[in-house]
Amino acid sequence: MKNCAMSYPYQINSFEEYQKVYKESVENPEAFWASVAEHFVWKKKWDKVLDWNFTEPKNEWYKGGKLNITENCLDRHLAERGNVPAIIWESNDPNEKQRILTYSMLHKRVCQFAQVLINNGVQKGDRVCVYMGMIPELAIAILACARIGAIHSVIFGGFSAQSIADRLYDAQSEFIITCDGAFRGGKDIPLKSVIDDALIGNRTVKKVIVYTRTRTPISMIKGRDVWWEDEMRHVEEMGIKEMDAVEMDAEDPLFILYTSGSTGKPKGVVHACAGYMVYTNYTFVNIFNYQPGQIHFCTADIGWITGHSYIVYGPLSAGATSLMFEGVPTWPDAGRFWEIVDKYKVNILYTAPTAIRSLMSYGLGPFQGKDLSSLKVLGTVGEPINEEAWHWYNENVGKKKCPIIDTWWQTETGGCLITNLAGITPSKPGWATLPMPGIQPILVDEKGVEITEAEDGVFKGNLCIKFPWPSLLRTTYGDHERCRTNYFATYENLYFTGDGALKDENGFYRITGRVDDVLNVSGHRIGTAEVENAINMHAGVIESAVVGYPHDVKGQGIYAYVIYSNTHGDEELTRKDILQTVTRMIGPIAKPDKIQFVNGLPKTRSGKIMRRILRKIAEGEIENLGDTSTLLDPGVVEEIKNGHI
């Protein structure tokens, strides 16, 4: 396969260069981000680099610029890298043949599917819900949306019909792209059937386009549901092989991605075309120190932001080869990742601490016979990595030769904000280390005052960012006020991340975890209020309180305290019923690991649940509960302690 050279003039090559670039980027952010944006294809250059204030909030980049992100991800590579693989796809089933889509092939498919969308009535600005497994058609679907200016809203395959219905309603989506089913490990997930459940009573969805993956029996509703393959054949017969990309304003929305917060309802985080493109590309090239021709394997699902930014948009805009894996790390055995690394000579492996911890538990057997010598860079994302997992990753996967990057970021930030740059800036186990150029972190106390006193050389506070960057979220869909109150109202003139962090004497950051009521389970964000709402839907539940507790593999587990009306029944069965309700309301990912039935919850006199106490009990810290004198009924604490599981 042809391996054409491509250079990235903005790639940082040494620690000194990082320091210089960082300094310039904060002294003159507009000049800095303009210089990066020069290296993209614009239909028209921007008039103004940045227009912002954190009070409304307003955060607009490259205003007046016109572009289409797919021209940057596809068209611009065709002349020189048309035959280079854009996506290599590895099936869930190790015996199924891989698929390789070169940039030319991907371009053609995206153009054709864009025509399918148009034929089915999708127009610029329409919201298209995408609920698919990890197959190349998922990437084709979202790029085709971007090609015609439709706004994609990808929903992870683990969310339930109810969650989909909520998201369809919130975004007022009229179109859905799905599959009959998805393979994941030993499971066959009936995606279309879940969509059908989500559409009961729905009157806004006009079309559902269904790709055949599992050939599970499904119902196809006349006039509403169409097969992907038939539609593509029709376009092929029309002789369509390419299609001009629709001109988009820099600030037009590119996609919506729902994520959990401290309230009961997920928010639709909105990212804009130009800023998101520039930042994901810039970070991809620099963080992984990507060299043309390398094989980049990000193990995330495209249902999450990591997949959007570092399987699709970042790598493709850089002309990279992105490996997409349909399955899970432990099926059919725990050597699956290593087999893939060996098979494709993967150079960059980007995964989550939860996957590393899970693989650790299988010992070193799964590495046997697998050649991992192609690996150059290892990365982690999604949650704090414990030192034990970091060292295991370093020793057994990287053979102590690969830099490990610990990338801290969020759905809202679009791309990585705090991380070391592979082989360029120093690493420190458990620490995300230094901010990317253009990123200005600050640690503050409860009142928003900057932490200036260190304890034993370490500053500790709530992590905020004081200046915007191109891929900071624009709004929460349909509710800008919510965006303001969630992220910009806690502290004046700061973006509040919801995370706590430490900073050492070198200016390195360590993210310690959420300081709000959001859990991070296997690298997935889940709001405690969301889980409580789901539990409370169960008949017989009077009240519930959900907290996190340390979990060996998942990072955090979900612990639910439930007041149930009829305690005479079979407790175990009731537990299962509640789990079923949560699965229905949110999806299996939000199922509590532990449910403790209680007669009361520790509340203050004003009726507020004292989660601090519940958290301590869930963590097993039964003895040292701190001050309980403000409780309405201190007696309930004793009972909860005694019933702790």
Q: Single out the segment in contact with ligand PRX by CB under 6 A; choices: 92-100, 182-190, 510-518, 539-547.
A: 510-518
Q: Which of residues 353-392 bind ligand PRX (CB under 6 A)?
A: 381-384
Question: Which residue number, 68 or 407, has a Cβ lying nearer to ligand PRX?
Answer: 407
Q: Please state the separation of Cα 113 from the chain's center in Å.
A: 25
Q: Give the Cα separation of 614 and 622 in Å (integer).
A: 10
Question: Which residue number, 589 or 632, has a Cβ lying nearer to ligand PRX?
Answer: 589
Q: Give the Cα separation of 159 and 525 in Å (integer).
A: 13
Binding-site size, ligand PRX (CB under 6 A): 22
Q: What share of the chain is helix, strand, coil (3-state, %, to 5)?
A: 30, 25, 40
Question: Under the criterion CB under 6 A, does residue 324 sit at the interface with ligand PRX?
Answer: no
Q: Kindly tell me the burial class for residue 612, based on how many C-beta atoms sit within 10 Å of its own C-beta (0-12, 13-18, 19 or more).
A: middle
Residue selected from 192, 296, 503, 514 as contacting ligand PRX according to rule CB under 6 A: 514
Q: Which residue has the tokens 């409580």?
A: 532
Q: Please give the radius of gyration of the chain, using alpha carbons only, rounded to the nearest integer.
A: 24
**What's the closest the beta carbon of residue 592 comes to ligand PRX, in angstroms?**
19
Q: Please state the separation of Cα 446 from the chain's center in Å.
A: 27
Going residue by residue from 448 to 487, which x/- string records binding to ligand PRX, judged by CB under 6 A?
Answer: ----------------------------------------
Question: Which residue number, 522 or 581, has a Cβ lying nearer to ligand PRX?
Answer: 522
Whether 194 and 285 have beta carbons less than 8 Å apart is answered as no
In angstroms, how far is the first alpha carbon of the chain from the final one?
Answer: 57
Name the region of 128 (left: φ>0; alpha: ψ -120 to 50; beta: rest): beta
Question: Which residue number, 218 or 355, has a Cβ lying nearer to ligand PRX?
Answer: 355
Residue selected from 25, 280, 407, 475 as contacting ligand PRX according to rule CB under 6 A: 407
Question: Which residue number, 170 or 383, has a Cβ lying nearer to ligand PRX?
Answer: 383
Going residue by residue from 251 to 290, which x/- string records binding to ligand PRX, judged by CB under 6 A?
Answer: --------x-------------------------------
Whether 630 and 618 have beta carbons less than 8 Å apart is answered as no
Question: Which residue number, 137 or 383, has a Cβ lying nearer to ligand PRX?
Answer: 383
**What's the closest the beta carbon of residue 610 comes to ligand PRX, in angstroms?**
23
Q: Give the Cα separation of 37 and 50 in Å (integer).
A: 12
Question: Which residue number, 190 or 307, has a Cβ lying nearer to ligand PRX?
Answer: 307
Closest-by-Cβ residue to ligand PRX is 411
Question: Which residue number, 149 or 382, has a Cβ lying nearer to ligand PRX?
Answer: 382
Q: Kindly tell me the burial class for residue 338, based on how many C-beta atoms sit within 10 Å of its own C-beta (0-12, 13-18, 19 or more).
A: buried
Question: Which residue number, 350 or 564, has a Cβ lying nearer to ligand PRX?
Answer: 350
Question: Under the criterion CB under 6 A, does residue 301 sit at the interface with ligand PRX?
Answer: no
**What's the closest the beta carbon of residue 538 comes to ligand PRX, in angstroms?**
26
**What's the closest the beta carbon of residue 476 comes to ligand PRX, in angstroms?**
13
Question: Under the criterion CB under 6 A, does residue 411 sit at the interface with ligand PRX?
Answer: yes
Helices 136-148 + 103-119 axis angle, to 10 = 60
Paired strand residues for 298: 350
- Cis peptide leading into residue 136 (ω within 30°): no
Residue 326 dihedral angles phi and psi, to the nearest 5° = -80, -25
Question: Which residue number, 68 or 556, has a Cβ lying nearer to ligand PRX?
Answer: 556
**What's the closest the beta carbon of residue 450 comes to ligand PRX, in angstroms?**
20
Q: How large is the greatest C-alpha to C-alpha distance in the chain, in angstroms?
A: 77
Residue selected from 305, 402, 422, 579 as contacting ligand PRX according to rule CB under 6 A: 305
**What's the closest the beta carbon of residue 518 comes to ligand PRX, in angstroms?**
7
Question: Under the criterion CB under 6 A, does residue 32 sit at the interface with ligand PRX?
Answer: no
Whether 430 and 406 have beta carbons less than 8 Å apart is answered as yes
Report the helix count and the strand count for the chain, using DSSP H and E: 20, 30
Residue 457 dihedral angles phi and psi, to the nearest 5° = 80, 5
**What's the closest the beta carbon of residue 509 comes to ligand PRX, in angstroms?**
9
Whether 151 and 253 have beta carbons less than 8 Å apart is answered as yes
**What's the closest the beta carbon of residue 181 comes to ligand PRX, in angstroms?**
25
Beta pairing, strands 187-189 & 225-227: unpaired
Residues in Cβ contact with 403 at an 8 Å cutoff, skipping those fewer than 6 apart:
377, 378, 420, 422, 423, 427
Question: Which residue number, 106 or 417, has a Cβ lying nearer to ligand PRX?
Answer: 417
DSSP state of 384: P
Q: Give the Cα separation of 120 and 530 in Å (integer).
A: 35
Question: Which residue number, 384 or 468, has a Cβ lying nearer to ligand PRX?
Answer: 384
Question: Under the criterion CB under 6 A, does residue 408 sit at the interface with ligand PRX?
Answer: yes
Q: Single out the segment in contact with ligand PRX by CB under 6 A; choices: 146-154, 448-456, 493-501, 542-550.
A: 493-501
Site residues (CB under 6 A) for ligand PRX? 259, 305-306, 381-384, 406-411, 432, 497-499, 511, 513-514, 520, 525
